[in-house]
Amino acid sequence: MSVPDLRRAAQRIDPLAPNPPGRYADDVVAVIRESPPQDRDPGGHDPGPAPIVRTEHFCLRRRGRRVEVGHWLRPGQLDNDLAGLLAEELFAPGWLSGPDIFERVFTGVVRSCVDGPLTAWTTFYENTLARIQECWQDPATAHDDHSSIAGFAPVYRRTLDLVEAGTVLDMGSCFGFLPLMLARRPGHTVIASDLSRGTMRLLGAVAEALGQHLSTLACDASRVPLPDASVDTVTVIHVLEHLDPQHGDAVLDEALRLARRRVVVAVPYEDEPTSAYGHIQCFDEKQLHRLGRRTGRPFTASSYHGGWLVLDAG
């Protein structure tokens, strides 16, 4: 599925729509909160059809035309490491495939884990932000290869170090953990942007619930409805790997149009694009130098938990 197809699919998912306690369903997937296998009545049966596969955290079934995923995650476990659990247990082995299904199952697990859509998402955000802080405080935690949070924590830390006080536009914010962290810092005015209107509506609602002030924009990162030089810094953190090269170049040009001071770009280094996360191209330091030279602006390219390109927009 192409990135435009993925984004259109994501826009069809309403992250804050009402749902019955312990259950999420749309026209493609159903996700159900269940008792852990060890807590079930030995004489009882799994709910629904026979499992296709049961993993440490999930039970996959087929019910008619729907994929049905049971899980026994509890509120204290609900954070962005869910992405890694789904990828490792259901998508990497091939039991499920495609970013559209990934997005729907992810949303379903969050929504079914805690009753009430906004309460569920607020729990997800608070747990994730707390665990990012834990990774910063205990560097050994940040080397957990099975943790999405541990993998991203040093990327967030480096970004915060590179962003000076002022107005910041974050492109391709997705859930918006970085904009929320930036908004907590004195002297920062933050705008989060993403193509998915639903995700930006969710971020705005969660930010308000957490008492954080930030603005949101639903737009393509290559066409942001803001004037030239309207912000001090633009961050493009783990976005370009989701885009084809032409689209990525357009996003970088747009970031330079908008920034008065600096553009900060980060990308993962991968041998193959991680399709479960919607990655479609890979980067190395040589490619970052190519991107920097193409802009004609002063730049530095470096490696730290992936690749970094910092452009002087002034």
How do residues 51-77 score in pLDDT, each as one tens digit? Answer: 999 999 999 999 888 999 999 999 999
Give the contacts of 129 (CB within 8 A, at least 6 positions apart): 177, 180, 181
Grade residue 150 by pLDDT with cuts at 50, 70 and 90: very high
Q: Looking at this protein, which amino acid is placed at residue 163?
A: V
Please give the angle made by the CA atoms of 148, 154 and 155, to the nearest 5 degrees.
80
The pLDDT assigned to 277 comes to 74
Domain ranges of the chain: 3-119, 163-312
Alpha carbon distances (Å) from 203 to 159, 161, 179, 212, 215: 19, 23, 9, 10, 9
Measured between alpha carbons, how far is 194 from 200 in angstroms, rounded to an integer? 7
Q: Closest Cα partner for 83 from 99, 70, 67?
A: 99
Alpha carbon distances (Å) from 21 to 49, 71, 231: 21, 14, 42
pLDDT at 7 over 90: no
Across 20-38, average pLDDT: 93
Superfamily of the domain at 163-312: Vaccinia Virus protein VP39 (3.40.50.150)
Grade residue 293 by pLDDT with cuts at 50, 70 and 90: very high
Measured between alpha carbons, how far is 256 from 298 in angstroms, rounded to an integer? 12
Give the contacts of 249 (CB within 8 A, at least 6 positions apart): 291, 294
Give the contacts of 58 (CB within 8 A, at least 6 positions apart): 69, 70, 71, 85, 86, 89, 90
pLDDT tens figures, 183-199? 999 999 999 999 999 99
Grade residue 276 by pLDDT with cuts at 50, 70 and 90: low
The pLDDT assigned to 273 comes to 85
Across 156-175, average pLDDT: 97
The pLDDT assigned to 3 comes to 40
Q: How many CB atoms lie within 10 A of CB 314?
A: 11
Grade residue 133 by pLDDT with cuts at 50, 70 and 90: very high
Across 155-179, average pLDDT: 97
Q: Which of 73-77, 134-138, 235-239, 249-253 has the lowest mean pLDDT?
A: 134-138
pLDDT tens figures, 91-129? 999 999 988 899 999 999 999 999 999 999 999 999 999
